[in-house]
Amino acid sequence: MENIKSYVQQHKDRFINELIELLKIPSVSADTAYSQDVIDTAEAVKASLSQAGCDFVETCDTPGYPIIYGEKIIDPNLPTVLVYGHYDVQPPDPMELWTSPPFEPVIKTTDIHPEGAIFARGACDDKGQMYMHVKALEYMVQSNTLPCNVKFMIEGEEEVGSASLAWFVERNQEKLKNDVILISDTGMISNQQPSITTGLRGLSYVEVEVTGPNRDLHSGLYGGAVANPINILAKMIASLHDEDNHITIPGFYDKVQELSAEERAEMAKAPFSLEKYKNALNIADVYGEKGYVTNERNSIRPTLDVNGIWGGYTGEGAKTVIASKAYAKISMRLVPNQDWHEITELFTKHFTSIAPAGVTVKVTPHHGGQGYVTPIDSIGYQAANKAYTETFGVPAIPVRSGGSIPIVSLFEKELKSKTILMGFGLDSDAIHSPNEHFGIFNYLKGIETIPLFYKYFVALSK
Ligand code: BES
Ligand code: MN
Ligand code: MN
């Protein structure tokens, strides 16, 4: 497969331009104003899979956005790789913080990406990383080196909880049968040090509503005499962590898997600079659960964070008011063995119980998913490691990530196969933030590395 490098060199401008076209369509799944764009993106993905060499592609309708399915079956006796990715993106806001419009992709250089990076919403998460697989397939088909069967399943609701994908997977076990699931929707340590994600956190996402008086009140006439829902909500939220930053919900930690001293020592070997971490975020210090270091706090430990909080008057100037209602959106990142339904229930029970008599509390669960860990002695992991070693010149380091791809644990349950997370993004690529970007180096390196995964996976499966 020596000529994957030359194929990439020869076609890189086209690879970049095709991705740029895909990034121009604003496939924001959270906002119905973009629904036609989401559907258009699905069709663009479908066309790209046919063009790359799938011999069957279809748009699968679901209760929500369509799933694009494609396959190339060369021999039913050979292994099958199932590629999963998502074509939907996060909302771009806050718009004013983008240095170029989120759906008008441009290439700019950064300190970390001296050879340039594509700036656009979805560049890294996940259109860019998903499209590497389409181009890797194109190469394998063109060079007649596809060593096994391949199936693609690209969805449009990942950023809003993958409800339709769960529906689809439950109904299509036979169609989706595979030997390994391959996903590029995570990151790696740096462009000099590849890593393979061996764990994802679970998630429970809830919205809370605190109601006080039946109408907004004059804060002078009533202030001090009735419960202010915003004050109360702030107090309730603050009480969810103790002074050591442990979460105070009874039962929250009951099923948390503690890592052994050896496993923690192994984790500590991954290159990490606290100084660089703080500098990159412009913070004077890190903050988190007592007894754990930063790389543990953001991967092997569960968390509780307010993602948004609102209520009362937030317009220009001042208005003296006690609002009738206050709201917050809260996410809990979970670790393996914590069940998200159970955690959602524990949260609801506790949060309702700590409300004083002057208010009522409503908790509405949004979505969630289980965490995931994968062993490093599997054929899939070994194949991925060999592939990275060949293209980067150094072996990959296993890393547990703090992010969530809830569908991965469902894949294991329904399809009985392991997922390999071959990410090529960097933490600094600003996914979900303004100015999201994806390095040209990373994009092309991904296209180069993926065919090697196929090669080694098939070789090791024999
Ligand atoms: N690709 C991310 C998840 C991710 C990013 C995992 C980097 C590991 C490293 C995915 O698109 C995502 O954003 N997931 C959501 C959960 C989803 C249910 C909205 C998340 O982690 O917040
Ligand atoms: Mn993603
Ligand atoms: Mn995302």
Is the omega angle on the peptide bond into residue 94 within 30 degrees of 0, that is, cis? yes
Establish whether residue 403 lines the binding site of ligand 1, counting it when its CB lies within 6 angstroms of any ligand atom.
Answer: yes
DSSP string, 376-436: SSSHHHHHHHHHHHHHHSSPPEEEE-S---THHHHHHHHH---EEE---B-GGG-TTSTT-
pLDDT at residue 1 in the model: 46
What CA–CA distance (Å, rounded) separates 171 from 63?
13
Q: Using only the alpha carbons of the chain, give its radius of gyration.
A: 23
* pLDDT-flagged residues of the chain (< 70): 1-2
By most ligand atoms within 8 Å of CB, the mutation choice from 129, 185, 197, 366 for ligand 1 is 185
Tokens of 192: 């000099």
Which domains does the chain carry? 2-200+372-461 (3.40.630.10), 202-256+302-369 (3.30.70.360)
Establish whether residue 401 lines the binding site of ligand 1, counting it when its CB lies within 6 angstroms of any ligand atom.
Answer: yes
Strands 325-334 and 360-369: unpaired
Cα(378) to ligand 3 centroid in Å equals 27
pLDDT at residue 220 in the model: 97
pLDDT in tens, 263-322: 999 899 989 999 999 999 999 999 999 999 999 999 999 999 999 999 999 999 999 999
Asked if 130 and 86 touch (Cβ cutoff 8 Å), the reply is yes
What is the pTM (predicted TM-score) of this model? 0.93
Cα(335) to ligand 1 centroid in Å equals 14
At residue 316's C-alpha, the angle toward residues 315 and 322, to 5°, is 50
Strand partners, 204: 332, 368
Cα(126) to ligand 2 centroid in Å equals 5
What CA–CA distance (Å, rounded) separates 37 from 156?
11
Cα(15) to ligand 3 centroid in Å equals 22
pLDDT at residue 2 in the model: 53
Torsions phi, psi for 440 (to 5 deg): -60, -40
Query: Which contiguous run of DSSP H or E holds residue 74?
Result: none
Establish whether residue 203 lines the binding site of ligand 1, counting it when its CB lies within 6 angstroms of any ligand atom.
Answer: yes
Query: Which contiguous run of DSSP H or E holds residue 45?
Result: helix 35-52
Establish whether residue 185 lines the binding site of ligand 1, counting it when its CB lies within 6 angstroms of any ligand atom.
Answer: yes
At residue 203's C-alpha, the angle toward residues 380 and 302, to 5°, is 90
What CA–CA distance (Å, rounded) separates 193 from 391?
11
Nearest atom of ligand 1 to the alpha carbon of 421: 8
Query: Which contiguous run of DSSP H or E holds residue 197?
Result: strand 195-200
- The number of beta carbons lying within 10 Å of the beta carbon of residue 180 is 24
Distances (CA, A) of 171 to 15, 37, 62, 175: 34, 26, 11, 9
